[in-house]
Amino acid sequence: MRRTSIVVADAGPIFRAGARHLLGRESDFEVFEATTLPQLSQTLEERAPDIALVDLDLPPQGGVAAVAGLAPLHETRMIVWGFDATPDAVLAAVTAGAKGFLPKEISPAGLIRSLRGVVRGEAPLSRSLATLMVDAVQGLEERDRARERAVTLSTREREVLALVARGARNREIAQALSISEFTVKRHMQNILHKLDLPSRRAAGLFYRSAFESSGVFEMERTA
């Protein structure tokens, strides 16, 4: 029987040892360990394992950056695991090339089942994480729609809107942009009209939903 080879890439010795002890009892797994990105990279080069279980906080730059750098170069299926399964973390991991995301609270049986599933081509993602991921994707879609609407604004109107979103009053906006308060009011009227928004407060919320984004959005923008 061909064994499934797994590299557990985690700076925490407890999780490496726990996974090694658990998977070592199963005859169908072979386990390697790495504590940093360079070690993981070396293991992928030398061993070409079937699966890499990569810690979200893997030194030096985190598991998402590690997966983004390594996934395009290797056939190893990368699974990220971590303490903080936020929607952004899950989505960032998957966007970077991970085939799934597992919480570190996972049960021994759950980890074994998930890893065997990966071998069969399944994407391990718990129900709660799947919900988080759907929320995150929907958040991105809402953001995209808001950004499409914002295209109608002029550069100056966007500058005004950015200051409104930060709670600035008309006088402060006028000072910041070296324009009159009257001009600020006119820009504000145009903004509300173009975006079909009822109030200044709604305009501020709109700006935040469109432009003040998560790490995922920042990653997409800089990619």
Partner 1 sequence: MAAEPAFPLVAVVSSYPLLAEAVEGALEGIAEVRAFPAGQGDTADFLRLLQPAAVVVDSAEEAEAAAEFAREARATLVHVSLREDRLRLLHAGRWQNLSDGSASPERIRSAVAAGIYLRGVRT
Chain positions contacting partner 1, by CB under 8 A: 11-15, 17-22, 24, 83, 104-108, 111
Smallest separation (angstroms) from partner 1 to the CB of 33:
12
Minimum CB distance to partner 1 smaller for 20 or for 208: 20
Q: Which two tokens stand for residue 102?
A: 């597992």
Q: Which residues of 200-211 are buried (b: 16+ CB within 10 A; e: fewer)?
A: beebbebbebbb
Minimum CB distance to partner 1 smaller for 17 or for 202: 17
Minimum CB distance to partner 1 smaller for 12 or for 69: 12
Distance of CA 221 to the CA centre of its chain: 13
**Amino acid at site 114:** S
Strands ordered across the beta sheet of 51-55 = 29-34, 4-9, 51-55, 77-82, 100-103
Minimum CB distance to partner 1 smaller for 31 or for 219: 31
Smallest separation (angstroms) from partner 1 to the CB of 21:
3
Smallest separation (angstroms) from partner 1 to the CB of 67:
21
Smallest separation (angstroms) from partner 1 to the CB of 138:
29
As a residue count, the chain comes to: 223
